[in-house]
Each structure stands twice: as structure tokens, then as C-alpha cells.
Structure 1
Amino acid sequence: MKLGIFAKTFDGSDPAAVLRSVADAGFASAQYNMACSGLAPMPDTIGAEQAAAVAAGAKGAGVEIVAVSGTYNMIHPDIAVREAGHLRLEELAKHCATMSTGLITLCTGTRDPLDQWRAHSGNDLPDAWRDLLEAMEIAIEIAERYDVDLGIEPELANVINSAQKAHRLIAELKSPRLKVVIDPANLFEVAPLDEQRSIVSSAIDLLADHIVMAHAKDRNPDGSFATAGKGVLDYPHYLGRLKAVGFDGSLVTHGLAAAEAAGVAAFLQGIVATGEKR
């Protein structure tokens, strides 16, 4: 596995400087966010020079841009908000080749009108699923047009809130453009160790053929998020299951402070190295 980190972990609006920080902290890949170029995370417009600067910064730092964040609320209750998101997704996809990446990560969305990462009772209703299918069909058309893949992530607060729903979505849409980003800390809040391991194992086994990137954060005992290695997530088990299904992509950490980055890189590398020696 290649260790990666969210580029926006590090302050700055110069991609060369931000990606140098990624490399200096011990990471070989990054999930990029256009905020690291001084733009909105989902800009209305990306200049050709701005896109080229991302690739140049990555090359100079020796860092792979494994993905670019393209999250917007795909089932927002206001259809105009969804449509604006689709337009921004196309603008991002249009520049992916120049930025030397072929994967855009998505947010499958929530009926909450204010926060795309907040759960809502309407997420489990049939109309939410219908709207997600419509939004994903638009996103897939964009992906086909610009030769990029789309990464969906099971997330408790979103309409795709389990591995089973992610599998269902893939089965219904039948598009090779649709991939999975797996983050075990998004699959449970509070769970006994045996239950946690079962949830993580089942998700990885079910989605194994579609996983293109893995995330690395953690959960505190009270269910709040924590920095990878500082919570209750069984990382040897998680990474062992990924290895068992043949995953060899990037393990991308996030939800941490820049000052913690080097320590998290050492923690993850230690587990990966131990697993490889078994």
C-alpha cells in the first residue's frame, strides 16, 4: 500500500508548497482539494494554469495525486443546488487529466439542507434513492466524457450509509466508472471490538472488487472521530483485511492536524510493514 494524506491537512494556497509538505511528512500520495490552489473546494471555474500547477507541484514533490475531492450534496432537497454541483463536477473532471489524476471522490449526499455530512431521516426514503440514481447517472455521463472514475464512500450520515447500499448502487448503475473509497471509521460509531471487526470485514469482502482507495481515520470510545491510531479502530485487522483482498492502492489519512501527520505516517507504515512480514 502507498501512504497518502488529504492535501488540505496542510495550510497554503500554493500547490507546490502544499505537496512538498505532504512529501516532507512521509507520504507518497495525496487526495487533492482545490482549496490548496486558493480556490473553492468545488470551483465554478478552474484555469488551465491552475490545473497545470497541481501536476507540476506533484511532480516536483514526488507525490502522486491519487484523487481530487469533488464532494457536493448529490441529494440536496433543492434541485438547483444539485444542478450547480453537477456543473462544478464537470469543471473539475475537465481538468483531471491536466492535474494528473483519474479519480474524483464524491459525497452521495443527505436531505439535510445545510450540511452534506449530517444525517437526516429522509435519507432512507425511496425518493432519496431515486434522486441519487438520477444524480449518479449525470455524474457517470460526465465521468465518461472526461475519462475519470468516481469514488463513492459509505458514510453513516449519507444516503449510502453502508457497504450494502454501496453494493446495491453499483449493481443498479452497472458502470465501470463507479468505484469505492472505504473508510472503516465511517461504518460504525460505537461498537464492541468483535462487532467492529465483523462490520469492517464484511464491508471489505463485499466491496473488494470495487475498492480503489482506502481512508484512515479513527473513532474515540464515545463515537467521535479521532486521528488514525489514537482511537478504538483495530488497524492491524483493517489493513490485514485490505491486504487479504489484494488491495494495493493508496491508504489516505485525514481528520488530523498538520503537526500529527509525520507521526501518523510512521504509525501506518509500521502496521503495513508488519503485515508484509507475516
Structure 2
Amino acid sequence: MKLGMYSVEMKRPTTGELFKAIRDTGFSQVQFDFSSVCEEHMQLRFEANLLHEIQTQSEGNNVEIVAVNGTFNMIHPSKQEREDGHKWFAAIAEASRELDCEFITLCTGSRNTKSMWAWHESNQEPKALEDLLASIDKVLEQAERYNLILGIECEPNNCINTPEMARKLLDTFKTPRLKIIMDVANLFQKGQARKENVRPIIDNAFNLLGNDIYLAHGKDIKEGDNLIPTYAGDGIVDFEYFLEKLDHHDYTGGMLLHGIYDEGFFSDSVAFINDVIDKHERTKAP
């Protein structure tokens, strides 16, 4: 299994230095966010020379761009904000194809106007879900235009915050262009982050979504009543069991480490995951 990371968790002044650091840390895949190399997060146009530089550095460092961030607040209470998000997403869709990447990540959003990753009590009201369906319709139009696959994940503070809701969303659209990003750390609700809950929560998610997984995220979560994400190996996620479930559902992609908010922990997380993968591979050997 190949290892990847999320580009915004590693800061470098140039595109070349960024991809070199990703390679040197032990990664061969990346979920790329344009904010890693652009001053403005939501640009409506990406210069050809920038895209060429990204692709050149990606190829030169043997780091495959397996996902591009297309996250915007799909249920922002402001219609104008949502429309701006769709315009930006259209630019991301075109740029992704220029980078030979077919997969774009989404955020199902929050009614919270300060952060799309923060909870709001109206996130699951009928009007919020209605706005989400309309937003997904629009991004699917771009997916069709550019032959892309889009990924959602369960996020405890977002509109789609459980595997059950994610399953309903997939069943509503019934399109191979909408897939799942499986991030086990995001499956816990407040009060659930206990070791005894880990495997049952993983089982439930895979029973509902296992056949629709496109990308696996390697984030961890600390034990406790609150939801505190952390880097792989620093929490309670059973990564060996996670790999078993991925195998059972014929997942052939990589593991993209996420939740590394201090670069000093990259080496620990990479070593931990490599050990888990090695052990897993040995148990499968005849």
C-alpha cells in the first residue's frame, strides 16, 4: 500500500521544495490543495505555467496527485457564497484534469458562517439538505464535463455526519461519479471516542459504505468525550482492523495520512503506518 499526505499540512515556500519534502518524508501520493502554492484559496483561474510547474514537480519527485481539494461550503446559508463556491469548483475541475487527477474532494458543509468544519444546529434541517442536493447536482455537472469522480466523507460537524446519511446521499444520486473518502477518525460522535467503540463503528461504516470507497484517510482520534483529531498512531483508531476491512472490500488505493498539525510528527506517523502495513502484509502471506 502506498503512503500519501495532505499538502496543506506541510509548508514550503516553493512548489519544488514542497514536492521534494513530500517525497523525502516517505510519501509517494498527495491530496493536493491549491492553497499550498497560491496566495488566494478560491481562485477562478489557474495559470497554465502554475499547473505545468505543479505537474513537473509531481512527476519529477515521483509523487502522484491522487486527489485535489475542491472543498467549499456546499450548504452555506448565503446563496451568493454557494454560487461563488460553484464557480471556484468549476475552475478546480478544469485544473484537476490538467494535472491528470480524476478525483476531487468535497465538503458537505455547515450552516456555520465562520467555518464549514464547525457545527450548526440547523445543519440537518430540510432546507440545508435541500441546498446540499442542489449543490451536488451542480458539481456533478462539472464531473460529467471533465470525466471526474467526487468524494464525500462523514464529518461530525457537517451536514452529512454519519454513514447512514452518507448512504442515503449516495442512493439518492446513484452515480458512479460520487464516492466515499473513508476517514475512520471522522466516524465518531461526541462521547463515542472510546477504544471499545472503535471496531463496531468501523464495522457499521464499512457495512454501509465499503463498496463505494475511493480513498482512505489515515487520521487518528484521541480517546475522550470530545472529538480531538490527531496523527496516526497517537490515538485509538485500530489501523490493522481498518486495513483488514479495506482488503475485504477490495480497496487498492493508498493511505493518505491526515491530521498532522506539527511537521515534527510526520516521521512518527509514517513509521507507525509502515509498521502496521508490514504486519498486515505478513499476516496475509501464505
Whether TM exceeds 0.5 here: the answer is yes
8 A Cα contact 1:73 1:82, kept in partner = yes
Root mean square deviation of aligned Cα: 1.3
Q: Displacement, 1:13?
A: 4.2
Which residue is 1:37 aligned to? 37
Q: Displacement, 1:22?
A: 0.8
Which residue is 2:252 aligned to? 248
8 A Cα contact 1:12 1:18, kept in partner = yes
Which residue is 1:185 aligned to? 185
Which residue is 1:226 aligned to? 230
Q: Displacement, 1:138?
A: 0.2
Which residue is 2:269 aligned to? 264
Using the alignment, how far apart are the partners of 1:207 and 1:139 within structure 2? 21
Using the alignment, how far apart are the partners of 1:233 and 1:41 within structure 2? 31
8 A Cα contact 2:220 2:237, kept in partner = yes
Q: Displacement, 1:15?
A: 2.1
Bigger mean CA deviation after superposition, 3-12 or 187-196: 187-196
Q: Name the aligned partner's letter for residue 169 of structure 2.
A: L
What SS does structure 1 have at the residue aligned with 2:117? coil
8 A Cα contact 2:193 2:221, kept in partner = no
What SS does structure 1 have at the residue aligned with 2:81? helix
What SS does structure 2 have at the residue aligned with 1:123? coil
8 A Cα contact 1:14 1:38, kept in partner = no
Cα-to-partner distance string for 1:27-86 (whole Å, 9 max, x where unaligned): 110000102222433322211111121111110110110101111100000010000000
8 A Cα contact 1:41 1:69, kept in partner = no
State yes or no: 1:87 paired with 2:87: yes
Cα-to-partner distance string for 1:101-127 (whole Å, 9 max, x where unaligned): 111101000111111001111111111
Bigger mean CA deviation after superposition, 167-176 or 73-82: 167-176
Using the alignment, how far apart are the partners of 1:158 and 1:212 within structure 2? 20
Q: Displacement, 1:262?
A: 2.3
Q: Displacement, 1:192?
A: 3.0
- Of all paired residues, the percent bearing the same amino acid is 33
TM-score by length of 2: 0.93
Using the alignment, how far apart are the partners of 1:41 and 1:105 within structure 2? 15
8 A Cα contact 1:42 1:92, kept in partner = no
8 A Cα contact 1:110 1:119, kept in partner = yes
8 A Cα contact 1:108 1:158, kept in partner = yes
8 A Cα contact 1:154 1:166, kept in partner = yes
What SS does structure 2 have at the residue aligned with 1:113? coil
Which residue is 2:28 aligned to? 28
Q: Displacement, 1:4?
A: 0.5
8 A Cα contact 1:13 1:38, kept in partner = no
Cα-to-partner distance string for 1:119-163 (whole Å, 9 max, x where unaligned): 111111111111110000000001111111111011010011011
Q: Name the aligned partner's letter for residue 246 of structure 1.
A: D
What SS does structure 2 have at the residue aligned with 1:170? helix
Q: Unpaired segments of 5 or more residues in structure 2?
A: none
Alignment: residue pair count: 278
8 A Cα contact 1:20 1:61, kept in partner = yes
Using the alignment, how far apart are the partners of 2:219 and 2:139 within structure 1? 27
Q: Name the aligned partner's letter for residue 199 of structure 1.
A: I
Q: Unpaired segments of 5 or more residues in structure 1?
A: none
Q: Displacement, 1:242?
A: 1.3
8 A Cα contact 1:42 1:71, kept in partner = no
Using the alignment, how far apart are the partners of 1:16 and 1:175 within structure 2? 37
Map 1:1-278 onto structure 2 (within 5 A): 1-188=1-188, 189=190, 190-222=192-224, 223-256=227-260, 257-278=262-283
What SS does structure 2 have at the residue aligned with 1:181? strand
